[in-house]
Homo-oligomer: A and B are copies of this chain.
Amino acid sequence: MKFIIKKTILLNHLNYVSRAISTKNIIPVLSGIKFDLTKKGLFLEASDENIIINTLLPKDKIESILEEGKIIIPGKYILEIIRKIPNELINFETDGQKILITTESSEYTLNGMNYEDFPTYNFEFNKEPILINSKIIESIVNQVAFSTSLQESRPILTGINFKLEKDKLEVVATDSYRLSLKTFKLENKGKETYDFVLPKTSLLELVKIIDSKKEIETHIFNNKIIFKFDNILFQSKLLVGTFPNINSLIPTETPIEIKADLDNLYNLIDRTSLLSDSEKNIIQLEINNNELIATCETVQIGKVEERLLIENKTNKNLKISFNAKYMLEALKSFEKKNIMIKFVSEIKQFIIQEENNEELIQLIVPVRTY
């Protein structure tokens, strides 16, 4: 393998694939990046076994291809070296074992890894891929993903459930104490329906390498998913198991509804939780006519009472307790000034929505304290 390439172009593509480099050293070769120089151009690939990122640097973007070939280069070192080299043009040369990287004033020799040791991943494609805009991916990260479980005891809850039927995409995450649900409209005419669970970690890596305002070709299979955009392939495994059916969880009748200013409510919950037990984070909320009263008492620290004017839409009152951290994360997902909180009773889960917009639902299960 022998070629000359511009620093900025190579660095750009290394940054994409480096997201998949394994940081756990269980399989040493996965700490490397596969360089595969062919007539088409330079394929780069990295994998941590959960995700695989592959990118093609087409031949017209390479200054000069002198000899085709392939090798695995230690990911951490190649990335740092290319990032820090000041020169515009970089020469690569390898005998299959060592990689020689030279510029006008520098000469690096890195130990390579055996090409045969790197797993072979087959990228498959559907005839009719789904197009998902990168803005939808960003929404899911900002408005849904935080509700996934961090505990591995129920692995399926560490993922995000996608349900696609015709042009309707429903995305859900829950850790069984709270839930986030967002519905999107896609421009999809395919007849196939899909129901799969994507690991949250995969989504968080994907969002880092997509540019905004881009349609992403999405190819969905039984146990894996492939996102295709520009010259990048991003493959993730899907989680195995049954995601809880959430239809029965979302209350349809909510006899107690209030309207509040988002920022004021957020700041009030934030201040009230200052005095909460830092593990459980429980605070109390009381709706009393047109006043919302948040309270919290922790014997060792002290107590707090905060008041806010609200619009009591149903003229009913209630007292309820919940985890303030869940409430803060839920409130953060909204953008508009006014939000609605809809309660069933003090022991039933309640939901938060924007006023006149039901695309996004945040649900929180209360804690019994009264």
Which A residues have a C-beta under 8 Å from some C-beta of B? 74, 77, 80-81, 84-86, 98-99, 105-111, 267, 270-271, 274-275, 300-308
In the complex, besides A107-B304, A107-B305, A110-B302, 20 extra interface pairs with C-beta distance below 8 angstroms are A74-B301, A77-B274, A77-B275, A77-B302, A86-B267, A98-B302, A105-B306, A105-B307, A106-B271, A106-B305, A106-B306, A107-B306, A108-B275, A108-B302, A108-B303, A108-B304, A109-B302, A111-B300, A111-B301, A111-B302
Nearest residue, chain B, Cβ from A308: B105
6 of the cross-chain contacts (CB-CB < 8 Å) are A77-B302, A81-B274, A105-B308, A110-B275, A110-B301, A111-B302
Nearest residue, chain B, Cβ from A297: B109
Hey, which chain B residues are within 8 Å of A106, CB to CB? 271, 304-307
Hey, which chain B residues are within 8 Å of A81, CB to CB? 271, 274
With A84-B270, A271-B84, A274-B84 known as contacts, the answer to whether A109 contacts B303 (CB < 8 A) is: yes
Nearest residue, chain B, Cβ from A302: B110
Nearest residue, chain B, Cβ from A296: B108
Hey, which chain B residues are within 8 Å of A300, CB to CB? 111
Hey, which chain B residues are within 8 Å of A303, CB to CB? 108-109
In the bound complex, do residue B274 and residue A80 qualify as a contact, i.e. CB atoms below 8 Å apart?
yes
> Complex: how many Å from CA A85 to CA B110?
56
> Complex: how many Å from CA A305 to CA B105?
8
> Complex: how many Å from CA A303 to CA B77?
11
> Complex: how many Å from CA A274 to CA B101?
14
> Complex: how many Å from CA A333 to CA B156?
52
Q: Give 9 nearest A-B pairs by CB, closest first.
A: A110-B302, A107-B305, A105-B307, A109-B302, A108-B304, A84-B271, A106-B306, A109-B303, A80-B274
> Complex: how many Å from CA A86 to CA B105?
58
> Complex: how many Å from CA A124 to CA B106?
59
> Complex: how many Å from CA A77 to CA B278?
12
